A = this chain, B = another copy of it.
Amino acid sequence: MSQSDKGKVKTTVEIYNRSYTIVGNEDDRHVREVAGRVDGTMRGIIENNPRLDTAKLAVLTAVNTMSDYIKLKKDYDELMSYIQKLEKEAGD
């Protein structure tokens, strides 16, 4: 373990039949949840596109997830503005 890995959590997970050791600040349970969902998304995409190679499949998995992230971020920001409005009204 390198100097910079001190205090970090190392979790080994399997995604689409390959092993990955994830090093980070996230707990084991979070990393396993993430890995399970990436694996599930990959298997869902390959079912509809059986000729994809693994690299393209993984990129498309990242694309799907990023798309969901960006949409959720917009919803989150809207909620935040709405809360600020509610709090302002409550303060008036």
Most buried by B among A26, A67, A76, A79: A67
The SS class assigned to the A binding surface is helix
B72 and A73: CB pair below 8 A?
yes
Query: Measured between alpha carbons, how far is A22 from B67 in the docked complex, in Å?
Result: 11
A34 and B79: CB pair below 8 A?
no
Q: Is A38 engaged at the interface, CB distance under 8 Å to the other chain?
A: yes
Task: Tell me which residues across on chain B come within 8 A of A83, comparing CB atoms.
Answer: 79, 82-83, 86
A residues sitting closer than 8 Å to B (CB atoms) are 15-16, 18, 20, 22, 26, 30-31, 33-35, 37-38, 41-42, 53-56, 58-63, 65-70, 72-73, 75-76, 79-80, 82-83, 86-87, 89-90
